[in-house]
Amino acid sequence: MRVNRISRARGRTAVGLSVAALAVGATTAAGPALAQPAAAPKAAPAAAADCSAAYRIEQKLATGTTWTMCWHYESEAGLVLENISYQPKGEPRPIRVLTSAKLAQIHVPYDDGSVEYDDLTGAGFGQGMMNMAPGECPGGTIKTVKVPDGVDPENPNVKGLCTTTRSRGHAYRMQGDTANKVWQRQGKDLLVYTVNQVGWYEYITEWRFQDDGTVNMNVGATGSLSPDDYDAGDGRGWPIGKGAKSYATSHSHNVFWRLNFGLDGSSKNKVEQYDSVVSPPVAGGEAPRNKTTRKSITKELAGNAKNMRWWRVVSTVGKNKDEHARSYEIIPGASSKYPGRSFTKHDIYFTQYKKCEQFASNNLRNCGSGAGKSVDKWVNGQALTHPVAWVNVGFHHVARDEDQQPMPVHWQGFSIAPRDVTAMNPLTPPALADQNGQVQGGS
Ligand SMILES: [Cu+2]
């Protein structure tokens, strides 16, 4: 069992929390309010995040792209981001992408069948928010978060929400006739992250907003392996001590994200699934062919990742300047899918929005009798007019000697990327802006 080393009241106590206890956290009057510079008064566009300065994250990146969002903090799910909008240079107003985004569960079953944890709803993830050292948020601001039902009621305020920027290398490169004329841009990202301790583990929940509109969601597990689990049998663990000693029990981390899309400010979004089938060359043909087909997902779906399969969520109200419907593509990450539970059997679920459906397993809200407690139960044939995407990314953790000590961060996650949100690359330099659908030769 993973017993917490500083003997905090964890275990299953969190399950009994009232709905009121799930309410929004509040920041202290100091700290975050001061972190908001004079940026606020300038043309406040309609779609901008509508929350007070203390709960607003607004970042204009060096390449001209602005991301805005609101945040609040829940006692189980931890950080919740809301009203997330993207405004690349050249767009007159922010473009709403997500109404809300948050973790929906971290399910941790052990390979020996001894135990499984729901880290969010049953093991104190939200309450375990950690103070960050200044060096953990290089170049950024650490906001203070009031943690509802925190482990230390005397000190509910945790300096634990980092917002900062980071370079990610080339956003693009295109060379003309000589190396003297290279169109290149170094991309910049807004990063938003927290650290939450659960037992011996510390989870880094990172949201990365790129200046080209892509959003990466990742959870990194670090901290320490649980020494109470150094008792695995053959095929269930890995020796991390000297010789055949200290077999750390293998386990999975099945992380679920919940994304409530709101493209162009409307919850009425459509979902499409794309599949490609490669067939051999025709007689006399030079190469195999590939045919991509679109399937409209009009009813709730429990979907599986597959070679050359992807999904997108499409706006019903907004188009880009090429008259193409705006959409965001869901790009599944590498996943070791765990087939042990009904809710872990699929890589993605699209459900019709329902307020009480908040956690992928062990849902704490009351959806009525017979509604079921996990996301797989909520896929029951309803029409999909306001889709919520639940993405399941699994990691099978077979410990290795290098996991001591501390344990290196192991990451898992996925991305969403804009598809036809803008008519061209949002970072296109002005000199190339006329190359939309027609590239000039000899650039
Ligand atoms: Cu692990």
Say whether 277 sits in a helix, a strand or coil: strand
> Ligand 1 center to residue 197 CA distance, Å?
13
> Which listed residue (201, 247, 328, 349) is catalytic?
201
Radius of gyration of the chain (CA): 23
Q: Does an H or E element contain 119, and which?
A: helix 119-122
Distance 288 CA to ligand 1 centre (A): 42
Which CATH number belongs to the domain containing residue 321 in this structure? 2.70.98.20
Non-local CB neighbours of 250 within 8 Å, separated by 6+ positions:
110, 111, 232, 236, 237, 238, 396, 397, 398, 399
The answer to whether residues 101 and 260 touch, using CB atoms and an 8 Å cutoff, is: yes
Asked whether residue 400 is assigned to any structural domain, the reply reads: yes
What is the DSSP code (8-state) at residue 175?
A: E
344: CA distance to ligand 1 center in Å? 17
Q: How far apart are CA 151 and CA 5, in angstroms?
A: 14
- Distances, alpha carbon 341 to alpha carbons 71, 76, 272, 302, 398, in Å: 31, 21, 26, 14, 19
Residue 434 covered by a domain: no
Residue 177 included in any domain = yes
In whole angstroms, give the CA distance from residue 67 to residue 215.
11
For 24-60, give one letter per residue: b (16+ CB within 10 A) or e: ebbbeeebbeebeeeeeeeeeeebbbebeebbbbbbb
pLDDT at 49: 59
Q: What pTM was estimated for this model as a whole?
A: 0.89
- Please give the distance, rounded to the nearest whole angstrom, from the Cα atom of residue 397 to the centre of ligand 1: 5
Q: How far is the CA of 134 from the centre of ligand 1 (A)?
A: 26
In a domain, 102, yes or no: yes
What's the pLDDT score for residue 204?
A: 98
CA of 398 to the centre of ligand 1 (A): 8
Alpha carbon of residue 302 to chain centroid: 19
Cα–Cα–Cα angle for 98, 103, 310, nearest 5°?
60
403 included as an active-site residue: no
Which residue among 111, 118, 119, 211 is the active-site one?
Answer: 119
Mean pLDDT of successive 10-residue stretches along the chain, which has 443 residues: 39 33 35 38 50 97 97 97 97 97 98 96 96 96 92 88 98 87 96 97 98 98 91 90 92 98 98 98 95 98 97 97 98 94 98 98 95 97 98 98 97 98 96 87 50
Q: Tell which phi-psi region holds residue 370, choosing left (phi > 0), alpha (psi between -120 and 50) or beta.
A: left
Is 119 marked active-site? Answer: yes
pLDDT of residue 154: 86
Query: Does a structural domain hold residue 97?
Result: yes
Q: For the chain, what is the domain count?
A: 1
Structure tokens at 21: 């206890």
H or E stretch covering 79: strand 78-87
State which residues form the domain around 347: 13-36+45-365+372-428
Amino acid at 220: G
The answer as to whether 5 is a domain residue is no
* Residue 177: per-residue pLDDT: 77
Give 426's DSSP letter.
Answer: T
